[in-house]
Structure 1
Amino acid sequence: MKSDYFKSKLFMRYIWSYLFILLIPLAFATIFIYRSAVSNLQSEIEQSHLNQLNQTKTIIDGRVKELIEIASRISYDERLTLYKVHDPYYSREAISALDNYKATSSIIGDLFLYYHDDDKIYSSFGMSGLDVFSDKYSFHKWTQNGLRQDLNTLKFPKMRPADLVSQPTSLQQSILAYLVPITPNSPAPHGTVMYFIPESELTGLIDSILGSYRGLTYIFDNNGQVLTNNGNEESLTAGDLGALFKLPPGIHNQTLNGQSHSVVSVKSDKNGWTYVTLMPSAQFFSSVLHVRSFIILLVSIVVIVGAALALLLARMQYLPISNLVHFASSKSRSSRTSGNELERIRISLQEHSTRADLQEPYARNHALLMLLKYGQTKSLSADLLEAFDLKFDHDCHFAVVIGFDKRSHLHDSKDDWQTMIQLFAEVDFPGLAARAYSVELPQPNQLALVVGFDPSGQTPFGQMQQIVEGIRTHLLELFDVSPVIGVGTAYTSHAHLNQSYIEACSAFESNILTVHGSVTFFEKLSNAPERSTFWIPGNVLLKLSQSLKQGSYDVSEQTLQEALKNLPAAGLSAPHLRLIHYDILTTLLKTASELGIHGLTQDVLSKLNFNSSEEFEAICLDLAGRICSQVERDRTKEEHSLMDRIVGYIDNHFMEHTLSLEVVSAEYGISPSYLSRTFKEKTGINFIQYIWQKRMNEVMHQLKTTNDPLKEIIVRVGYLDTPNFIRKFKKETGYTPGQYRTLNTSGEHA
């Protein structure tokens, strides 16, 4: 009787009806899921590259700024005057000075000093004639006459594109030449500082942008000329390069060499350079190959099951009602199970597509931290603040520094600390017309608040007291802690938040030294008993000391000018005025001593015979500048040294399953967010990826060199979730651990 089913048109109509009902929605669902996977992956990669390009731009801008600053210091260095570099007695000291300047920047390959109309050029290797220099460094596209003309006539800094340089004692090397006239920004420069920058220094940086994806990265100068590119793909035509240079900053789709490309472009506000990354769009489809294979397999299974289900449903329609009910009840679960599996795939893809960029909280915190340290700068544009949803639309702004004693349970509770950071990420005080943003500071268990408010009927200081009291009460109610709080002065623009932050740090430091768990306002510090400060308020000297400790020259300059501006009009006697001057110098020298900066006292003593307040102010500003510069150098050196120690610590402890961001940050006394951000700047990858790669390499090594069971190896390297490790291992290598061991051991025996 079954063979008669297929002879019936009604039965065949049932079958085709059910098949169409199944296949049409299934086809649309499959296309939607696959397109969503590709689109979401492409969007995430493009956004990631946009962030990395901006980071690369910032780093390169900083390096170029360093080169200009080095040239400025060279122009004022008495050891490098034209007379001394020519003098046989002083020339060795000049060469040593150039060598020291060369060592201050990691991207400098060679450094040269040239004075206009001189037939000699000077470097850390010594003095040589221009003809000898041209023979030693033979550029393919930069003639000897062109070199001489650029050295003598250049009035503005200029970066030459990468060019092959032939040297007698080595192979050809691609080098960028950066020329800075000295004195910088002078309308009539008297010489030129020339840096040789190996192209590999820049390409090594921009290669990290693409990661595992194929593509090109270009750096254009402000005239559209290619300075350098990573050279991983064949070069583009001049027309394509011109089109890339003219693209506005952002993410674009562009057809180049007959292929569709995803193009990401950013532009530097400081030097006008344009950074462009382009990747073939086709590789986004290949990146979701495993998703496509899985979908095809799942569709095949569903089609087979659906065909069987259609046959059964048609038979149920064709047979008596009793048989139809029986078969429907017995097969309906299978249909729902298939549908649920597809639904779970769809939900997982949607969840994957809605994940926020993990770097956004750190970037937001970094932007606020830069605002506190340097005030409103060009790097913190209105668009950037808007992207982070940071609004500074109030009339007054001030900074608050909050710290917690080690005895507080917040010191040991990661969850409570993170909860507090999230709660204070943005806090509104409607009754006081105020809003606050939290900033996690590099010091552990410390955060700052950026507060904006609109003055009401009461005094601004009274309103500030109510806001701070509200913050303190909020902390006490939610976390049962009484923090140490320092409060800076309120300013009418958020551009002066660096001033308020320095004041808040001063108040906080004074608070720690006096009463724990209390609130100190910087404005009230001036009411403290004065000892040797005479008519200069004590909080001004405290602010001066704190600005030097923070390395903030802008704030220390303004503070010094504030301290000195009213002295001439005070009618003080000369001895009395000199005592006040000595008090200011004592503050500067004492702060330098506390920072471990020695050797300034003798230099200052030699300049004490000043004849006017202007000369004294110049001496103080010079001293403050030297202290701030040294603080910045020490801080940068300490950051590099600290990251080197942290990387070494991870290399020695990566096989411990308890190793985490919080454990390492506690070990070195820094905040987790600061460690996460700085670690990625140092290594190029985030903390979790670095540990995973170390463990992955160790597992691969032990698979090749031992016969130990896989589970034992995985647990030994600190990874407790064996199934998840195997899945990630196969995704990264294309093999299961067992297949990897078999391939490598068989290869060795062969």
Structure 2
Amino acid sequence: MFWRQKRSRSKRAMSMILLFLSLCIVSTAGLSYFITTDHLQAEVEQTNMSLLHEVNGKLLLVLKAIDSEAMQFLRSRDMRTFMEDDAADQQDTININNRIGDMLLSNDTIFSIDLYSYAKKRWSQTNPFQTPEPGPDYQWISAFERYKGFYQWIGTRKLSIDESGKIRHNVMTLIRSYPLTHGEGYRKGAVAFNVDERSIYNLIKNAIDPSLGYLFLADAEGTILSHADKSLIGTQTGELLWSKQMNERDEGQFRSKINGINRTIFYMKSPYTGWEIISVVSDSELSKPLVQVRNTLFGISIILLLLASGMAVVLNSWMFRPVNRVLSNVTKQLQAYGGYERKSEHMADDEFSSIEVSLSYILADSNRMYRQMRETQPVIKWRLVMDALIGARKNPGELLPSLAAIGFPLHAMQYIVMAAEFDGKSGIATPQDLHLYSYALCNVAEEIINTEYRGIAIEARDGMVVIVLSFDDGDGEANLLRALAVSELIKSYVEEQFKQTISIGLGRMTQDLGALQHSYHDAMSALSYKMILGGNTIISSEDIREPASGEFMRLLGMADGIVDSLRLTDSEKMTKQTDRWFGEMAGSGAAPDMIRQLVVHFMMKAAKAVGEIDPALLEEAPSHRLFDLLSQYESIHELSEYVIEQLGQYAELIEERRSNRERNDVVERMTAFIDAHYMHSDLSLNYLASEFKLSASHVSRIFKEQTERNFIDYLMDIRMRKAKELLVGTDMLIRDVSGAVGYSNVNSFVRIFKKSTGFIPGEYREREQASLREADGADDTDEADEAE
């Protein structure tokens, strides 16, 4: 009796389910007729936007390739000769013109190349129709000199290609600075690559069927840059083809009525050039395939409704039982593991109650597992990436599947590491705010990267985010350009949305996941150069120039004059010398750690000079952890201000001590005697004590007390100063100079001179005389300019 009642309830329940399914199918079939058009309309619009993305990608590859050629050209020795060398001869001009000719022959997209040296006021003569001086076609020269960035794309302009200037050709221009990366005020020249506008339009014109519409390029102000109708180039697009939202959004579409025809305008802004790619499509042509597809789908819905009804009738007799059996087995498994206990009243009820309980158990387990996975995912991601960056995980067969399992798959062809850090972290209110900024930056970076490539981002430390970008092809040059473009997108987004600026360091490209730690180290080293180049910048490890050997000793030797000014408490001169010293360090390309090490050595020299005056003053010197103290300064300007402030405090202390002392006439006569007899090789402390009828210890004490330095250092400084004058002002042999300043042994003289200046005497003479010749040449140029 019980089983018959149970079977009867099951049949009634199945009949209700079949009725409900039939109503759902009928409702779906009816609604699909009305919503399919809108859905397919969205699909068509998405297809057109995808088309613009493909056009932008193709255009970006061509323009980036030209940019890559420009950067390689700027790194060449011929370019350095043209931009910086005063002695550039006719052969150098022929060499650089031949190179430009080869580039023009190898790339028919490039129309012409112009060079201009701001340092030497020199420009190229590669165009046979150029005038002796830059004309109206080359107004970019003066404009780019004041431009803040390292490169700039200029919209379409016309270049004269005949002597009369009547025949003109449309070009788009890429301008790159020389050197590639430099501080403000250190730009020496620029190169302009003029790209043929027709080549650019031929590249994009076939992206859309002419029967459906047309496509063109415009700048951010709506000026047409490239179009099938060349007479429209340089004109404004007009209100029908331009919308205010194009300045607010990077991509989208809007509708407009042009010449009585409804049209849809699709647009997308290129983040690399800032240009708009605009596609104009007729709505009537756009809707034809939509109507056909909609009718087809409606017919298929009717067939599916009939087929579903027939299958429901046929399968009604045996469909429910297998489902119930599967769920019963699942419930038994749950009970076996002790997760849940089914109550006896559920066992006595119908099958649907049992199914309901079983499904609730399964869903509860699934939700709990999902929550646990989401909670632990950030920790797992951070651990996996950090292991790869420090070299703990080098096997891609282990790392890549682990990342893919938590939702971060990477390509296995090439990798590059980027280190991004917020500028001015001291200005962010709290460490919690800085952590939130870093967390948001990780999300933004991953969202931007994963639109076209694959990557992952983690927070390395406060205000620092490390990004790993992967590619599916092995073209290192193209991938490096893509990484630079992604970095620019991330930096711009943070500046616009977060109202903060970041600096990004790029490591070297690597094909081996095990070498990811080297790319990470390069990225961190490149990022440290923001102290020299300033914040809100992108720095590639390949753009960093290693300083020449001996550069450390040369820069350290320049600081001796600052110490002398400190001893004299000449604050104004000391400040100017310090500013000039830091400017020389920035221009030399020295690494930030090298600059900090130079400052540490210099501060030790300064402290020693202060200690010679009064050892008690050393208590005012910075602590022994001076390098860590200097590491907190983010820019070379802040570091310079700290050093100037510290030197000013030293100078005040020295003046205070000197004001409490009385001058000693005996010491003044001693210094006058040394100045007159420094060339005698037997001049010593004992000789001086004998000359003034005093003991050697007394002479040493009062000499150091009054002159703030010991006798040997004072005598050596005078001899070195006189030796420098003789080396620069005369043609005396080194051994004759050695004897003239009191050194009978020339080897001792050379050793002491190098320790004092960082150069051997011959090198010092060549360096200083070359500087004098350069200064004389500059003075002659200035006089000639004034005469003109």
* TM-score for the superposition, normalised by structure 2: 0.35
Larger radius of gyration: 2
* TM-score for the superposition, normalised by structure 1: 0.37
